[in-house]
Structure 1
Amino acid sequence: MSKHRPRAGRRSLGVATAALALYGVFLRPRVLTWGATGEEAGRGYPGDDLVPDADASSTMATTLPAPPPAVWGWLVQMGCNRGGWYSWDRLDNGGHPSAERIVEQWQDLHTGRHLDSLPSGDAWFVVAVLEPERTLVLRSLTTLPSGRPYDRFDAPPRAYTDAIWGFHLRPEPGGRTRLVVRTRGRSRPRPLTRPMDILFWEPAHLIMQTRQFHNLRTRLSTTA
């Protein structure tokens, strides 16, 4: 019986290796560019330069049934303890429902402002780039494994992630908006963070981002 164990182990390893290779070649590129055209995925966007030597990136896109000014009102009120993130609220908003309407008190946004990424307020995004009705780029600097933010762009801790989440709006015919979402990130130590990126964070971002697209589309259709 013991003679078969090494052979079975090699077979399992071979299957796992083949599955990872297929995922890397066929599925992962689609995960990272869901909904985006080749031109959208290949071009640069405001905020990309904040993480110039990124080792992770994605570009996803959708067309929304409203012009950029209408879409912008929903984007600027994002954040925990504000309008939420319009995604899976149990996962990213502490179970609190995201806003179903535009709230005037959440429409004032400026660069440098913190937007809570946790209901506790213990972690946040910083508004890094803001061009009204065109571009909103959020940046997150996180110490690993604690998940606590750090403030020095030029002096990160030994284990960290530095990432941007950018929303880019372009008017489309028929009073619609093309929304392109670009992420870029850098993390260390890379031998540990790269497997987590590929196996967890990239699929998780796809799930959350496509849900946000869906919920934004629903809200804009309802309020149009």
Structure 2
Amino acid sequence: MKPGWRTLLLQGAEAVAVLPVFVTAPLFRSWHLRWGATEVEVASPLPGDGLVTTSHFTATRAITVNAQPEEVWPWVIQVGINRAGFYSYDLLDSLGIPSSNTVLPEWQNLRVGDVVAPMTAKPNPATSFVVAEEKFPVQLVWAKPDSSWSWRFTRLPGNRTRLVTRLKQHYRPGRSLLLTVPLLELADFPMMRKMLYGIKKRAEGNSMPGTR
């Protein structure tokens, strides 16, 4: 569904408000590359680490969700343009189309080799993330040339989940680097932080009765 002008106006105001975070992200690089994560989480290996042996950008971030791993998982695997969106700044990452607030059944049958988290309307399998590994509801590994994106869902007492995500990127010389470097060094942190909060909000709002 195309967004109305009021939605676009609100999204535009939100994007403008967060602009200083985009601009200053490089100044706080060492901090935001480990936002929310503990020392142990940053140092611990994650599945998929070996897919990118020389990483110029490694971001390990984490958040605690008051819902069980089985309730968090569906929100993660359905992200992407023409899917559920990225639960982030919709004007910037989904052309203003609002991110879904419901679990979409058509994107829940994830298999190794599937294209995942598409960032364009017509994803190219050669340059898009694909599922490299999936173990429900414990871990996910998405990979594309020179990049890996890993997720770990750790069950905590009180029916909670510790969600840890790691993005690794090798900066390969070429024209694509002109887009990749600004995207990661400026935009990745504010958008990923909002995405994690978006996952948390949705999973907690739809958790099963009696689990919070």
TM, length-normalised to structure 1: 0.72
Matched, 1:210 2:211: no
The DSSP-based 3-state class of the residue aligned with 1:128 is strand
Equivalent in the alignment of 2:8: none
Equivalent in the alignment of 2:162: 178
Equivalent in the alignment of 1:151: none
Q: Partners of 2:192 and 2:167 in 1: how far apart?
A: 11
Matched, 1:96 2:97: yes
Matches within 5 A, 1:96-175: 96-115=97-116, 116-122=118-124, 124-141=128-145, 162-175=146-159
CA RMSD of aligned residues (A): 2.4
Q: Partners of 1:189 and 1:105 in 2: how far apart?
A: 37
Q: Is the Cα contact below 8 Å between 2:66 and 2:161 reproduced in 1? A: yes
Q: Cα deviations across residues 159-207 of structure 1 (Å, max 9, x unaligned)?
A: xxx11111111011111100111011112229x959x74x652331111
- With a CA cutoff of 8 Å and minimum separation of 6, indicate the structure with the bigger relative contact order: 2
Q: Partners of 1:176 and 1:203 in 2: how far apart?
A: 31
Higher strand share: 1
Matched, 1:61 2:62: yes
- Return the letter of the residue paired with 2:35: W
Deviation at 1:53? 2.0
- Return the letter of the residue paired with 1:203: L
Equivalent in the alignment of 1:189: 173
**Percent same amino acid among aligned pairs?**
33
- Return the letter of the residue paired with 1:130: E
Moved more, 45-54 or 119-128: 119-128
- Return the letter of the residue paired with 1:215: G
Aligned residues: 179
Unaligned runs of 5+ in 2: 1-23, 208-212
The DSSP-based 3-state class of the residue aligned with 2:64 is strand
Q: Is the Cα contact below 8 Å between 1:187 and 1:193 reproduced in 2? A: yes
Unaligned runs of 5+ in 1: 1-19, 142-161
CA spacing shift, 1:193–1:106, aligned 2, 3 Å:
closer
Higher alpha-carbon Rg: 1
